[in-house]
Structure 1
Amino acid sequence: MNARSERKKVAAIVTEYRPDSHAEMIIGRLLGLFGYTPQIEVVSLYLDQIPSNDMGTAEAHTRGIPVYASIEGAIAAPHVGVLIDGVLLIGEHGEYPWNEKRQKMYPRRRFFEETFRALDRLGLNVPIFNDKHLSYRMQDAEWIYGELTKRGLPFLGGSSIPHTPQVPSYSSEQLIQVKEIFVISWLGIESYGFHGMEVLQAAAEHRQGGETGIRSVQALEGRSVWAAMDRGEVPEELMIQALSTVSDILPGHPRDHVDVPVLFIITYSDGLKGYVLQLQRFIREWGIAFRDASGEITAARCESGRGRPYNHFENLTRLIELMVLTGCSPVAPERTLLTTGMINLAMESLHLGRKIDSPQLRSISYSPAENFVL
């Protein structure tokens, strides 16, 4: 047997596979592109949509990977002759409707439903990766989490950005007594805002006692962001410290450049305050600043790599492989459930124009997964 045939095998379930898509960045690496040496093998593919610039069909044909007409077919992968070892759900990009809350309605629950059905029929219990959050609707996210838990399936979800190097680096021990965390983010309110939420939560979960839930979520938009900052309700000093870590920043204060900033304010059950500020195109990176109980501030940027091949997908791809190879997720699944709720309630708060209490998030408690060496 050759090395390729001995590698663990996964099915990839994708909304859209075109240049610069998450599918290209993750599956491409697993196909050996971008200088990446894969440890697992993509053996089947399902494409929910095929745009005019689709590249998934040709890539699969070139490599002898069947493109199945259904999710169940891709997971069964009868051409392989053995059962698969994992499923990758990459439900990002594509032409899908938007709801009144400015959320893109990706078919992530449908992807999970059909995946569970296929696994049950085959009697399989294999790891599942889900790109970004679970659903634009919290009821669906809770259902997905419940089904994963009931089946005992190893699960890795969420964003690529928390897995990037922090520059300058800091220890998770510095977060044990954290009191305030401020994340600067950019571009799409929901799509990039979720990255910001994940950066926030990846830091917050390291405080003493782990995660104990969230009390409320509030969103501010436009001039109300700067007004709240002027009233001292939002820590401007933390924003400035976070901005000091990023490169290619415009001169001056962001209020001089950003017409419609969006700020998410997260109040945790234990009193921790989290802020995620969307600054449109004022920055092109994510940054974080946090204050501990003594008042000391630590700040860093997320070294994501701003051009192709988008280096932030490299560590995420390695974590996907690690889960498939070991059967253990390097991220607590509760983080993905919690950040799903955070972005969903933030978009609801933005839509309604008021703070939203979050009883469904108050009961989500967990400790971060052990550190994994990539």
Structure 2
Amino acid sequence: MKTSELMSRRDWLAGAAAIACGATVQPARANTAKSVKVKSVAAVVSIYEPKTHADVLVGKILQGWKQDGGTGPALTLSSLYVDQISDRDLSRQMAAKYNVPIFDTIEKAVTAGMDRIPVDGVISIGEHGDYPVNFKGQQLYPRRRFFKEITDTFQKYHRVVPVFNDKHPGPVWTDAKWMYDRAQEMKVPFMAGSSLPLTYRKPELDLPLGSEIEAAVGIGYSNLDRYGFHALECYQCLVERRRGAESGVEWVQYLEGDSMWNVLDEGLVSQNVFNAALAAVPKVRQGDVRDDPDAGLFLFRYNDGFLGALFMLQSVNRTSVALKLKGQAKPVATQFEERTEPAHPHFAYLLKGIERMIHTGRPSYPVERTILTSGILDRALTSRFQDGKKLKTPELAIRYQPVDYPHAPQPDLSSNPSQPLVK
């Protein structure tokens, strides 16, 4: 679609000039409760249909946190690139309503059709759409291609701005590592990840940094690639808070059938901690969980000796993590909620983290967490197609220091994004 189909070039250039000069502007819908300088973003998305990630992230910039026309982030959408247009496409309708130009290349979106980069950040959403699936079950979303074209544009126009990559970079490990290395080399403020580490927890579980965690078990559900990533992010956002911080993963293995349940029977993984995690999620199939024919286990050992265990079950329909803490007799467990109303609110808390990065120029939490979970997932899926072989993973010796970034409902969605968030 050409820009001229959506708005006049004169109107667009006038708006772009105001944004480029750092003006405080009011988007088409009501802005934040406090008067702050609005930052502009370009969005690069695979597909923009109702309830896709593009809808529940970009839609909140256009329509407010609840996508009801009310208060929203201190961000304005300056430009949009859509990789695939479907019969259910929302992008044209939304672009026309909010005077946002759609461009036919990523470079044009990042430059907003100009000869420089006027935007303050880029949101890259390579999720949903018609893309091939490889033999390991990984849907080959164009996340590396998106990131390459975004950063190629940075190089061409000699300006770097923060980039958020929805979900896991890659999803193939070599692509994820390439993206991380390029961000490091070019000094791109880079964030990525799932919305679930920032969602509501049921019951509330707020684990202090430096906690003495003796064991942890996670439970995930549905597709091993798409939802396995969410479950690993939930698991990692808690176990990274153990004493000593994070030094990466030594090996990864995928188990199924009797071999996965043997880790409980032989005591390698605590049955009590597993039971606590299982009790925290709703069931969709009655009977013994061991009768689940499609269950699988991601088993991995961290470099500090801590054992990771994530059970992917098709007899449940939510994600949970249980922890055995030193000095406490009973495990603690929580479910990571996936509310749909109003407008998938956990994505509002993810967008709050993105907003903060674009305003401060610094990631709200380390991208290394997501790079590590991406690697664990890729290696687990590789092990699955190598008959459960235990794979040594020196490439996952990823060190980072976690930060105390809050989850829902603690961040004030109306607060000044440039100010620190406190619990």
* TM-score, L = length of structure 1: 0.93
SS in 2 for 1:95: coil
1:292 to 320, 325, 328: 325
Cα deviations across residues 280-320 of structure 1 (Å, max 9, x unaligned)?
Answer: 2x222211101134464111111231566222211101111
Aligned mates of 1:134, 1:307 — CA distance in 2: 28
Cα deviations across residues 339-367 of structure 1 (Å, max 9, x unaligned)?
Answer: 111111011011112111101012x1110
Aligned mates of 1:318, 1:115 — CA distance in 2: 22
Map 1:127-206 onto structure 2 (within 5 A): 127-173=162-208, 176-206=211-241
SS in 2 for 1:328: coil
SS in 1 for 2:218: strand
Contact 2:250 2:301 survives alignment (8 Å): yes
- When the two chains are superposed, the root-mean-square deviation of aligned CA atoms in Å is 2.2
Contact 1:11 1:44 survives alignment (8 Å): yes
Cα deviations across residues 40-89 of structure 1 (Å, max 9, x unaligned)?
Answer: 01111111111221111221122111111000000000369971000001
Matched, 1:4 2:37: no
Q: 1:79 to 1:4 in 2, by over 3 A?
A: farther
Q: 1:253 to 1:121 in 2, by over 3 A?
A: same
Equivalent residue, structure 2, for 1:317: 351
Matched, 1:71 2:93: no
Contact 1:175 1:203 survives alignment (8 Å): no
Contact 1:175 1:292 survives alignment (8 Å): no
Contact 2:209 2:404 survives alignment (8 Å): no
Shift of 1:199: 0.9
Equivalent residue, structure 2, for 1:261: 295
Equivalent residue, structure 1, for 2:136: 101
SS in 2 for 1:179: strand
Equivalent residue, structure 2, for 1:114: 149
SS in 1 for 2:124: strand
Matched, 1:21 2:84: no
Quote the sequence identity (%).
Answer: 34
Q: Which amino acid aligns with 2:229?
A: F
Contact 2:297 2:312 survives alignment (8 Å): yes
Aligned mates of 1:121, 1:212 — CA distance in 2: 35
* TM-score, L = length of structure 2: 0.82
Equivalent residue, structure 2, for 1:237: 272
Higher CA-based Rg: 2
Matched, 1:368 2:368: no
Equivalent residue, structure 1, for 2:338: 304
Shifted more, 203-212 versus 296-305: the winner is 296-305
Equivalent residue, structure 1, for 2:87: 52
2:119 to 84, 97, 101: 84
Q: Which consecutive unaligned segments of at least 5 residues does structure 1 have? A: none
**May I ask how many residue pairs the two structures share in their alignment?**
371
Aligned mates of 2:344, 2:303 — CA distance in 1: 35
SS in 1 for 2:385: helix
Shifted more, 84-93 versus 60-69: the winner is 60-69
